[in-house]
Structure 1
Amino acid sequence: MTDTAKAKATLEANLVELEGRLERIQRDLDEPHDPDSSERAVQMEDDDSLEGQARLVTREIASTKRALDRIESGEYGYCVQCGEEIRDGRLEARPEAALCINCARKG
């Protein structure tokens, strides 16, 4: 079974990094656009990309927080769909994983 203390430390470090990344993205999005119309068009395209990144990072933050909740409740390391134990290798690679590899492949 996975060392939950180690997993918790990893998840907490990941959460700090993700929240910092989201903050930097938000800061970039909050910058005013250049009044030059051609430059503004490029900046708006960049904003679309940044908004997509923000959505992905927000989902990663939510997954990480749910994994930390599962550690606190004693449910970490078990598939939330079938209840089977998630293999250590999967949790080492993706400590926020909520599904065993079989359920992840089905979804």
Structure 2
Amino acid sequence: MNDATARVRLESMLSELDRSIGILRGDPAALRDRSAADAGSDLVDADRNQAMLEVATRHRRSVLEALRRIDDGCYGLCVDCGRPVPEGRLEARPEASRCVQCQSRRERRR
């Protein structure tokens, strides 16, 4: 995926994440822009809401890091080993920062 395409996809993801985070936090501006379907899916459970907020915030951070890698000219290179991240992985997850092998190693250590 070229940098321009990646940037467009990442910026779109960032916009959606910001909207979702605003809704999860109860931001009045985000709530005003909700559709009727979104309004019907209010989260009642505070723990579930907090977990979703944490996931969205982590995802937002990874999108911002990917945009920085584009700016730095190293987008598409594994942050651990420096090898290219496979094109298919970037298509599926434009915010991916590691090749498959390094990501697998990282997940096994957790």
Structure 1 runs, 4 residues or longer, greater than 4 Å off: none
Rounded to whole Å, the distance in 1 between the matches of 2:80 and 2:94 is: 17
TM-score w.r.t. length of structure 1: 0.82
TM-score w.r.t. length of structure 2: 0.79
State the secondary structure of the residue aligned to 2:26: helix
Structure 1 stretches lacking a partner, 5+ long = 29-42
Q: How many residues align?
A: 90
Q: Which residue of 2 aligns with 1:31?
A: none
Rounded to whole Å, the distance in 2 between the matches of 1:105 and 1:61 is: 21
Query: Which protein has the larger Cα radius of gyration, Structure 1 or Structure 2?
Result: 1
Rounded to whole Å, the distance in 1 between the matches of 2:25 and 2:52 is: 10
Rounded to whole Å, the distance in 1 between the matches of 2:47 and 2:105 is: 31
Q: Which residue of 2 aligns with 1:96?
A: 95
Q: Which residue of 2 aligns with 1:65?
A: 64
Report deviation, 1:8.
0.4
Report deviation, 1:83.
0.3
Structure 2 stretches lacking a partner, 5+ long = 28-43
What's the RMSD between the two structures over aligned residues? 1.0
Q: Which residue of 2 aligns with 1:6?
A: 5
Report deviation, 1:100.
0.3
Superposition pairs for residues 31-50 of structure 1, below 5 Å?
A: 43=44, 46-50=45-49
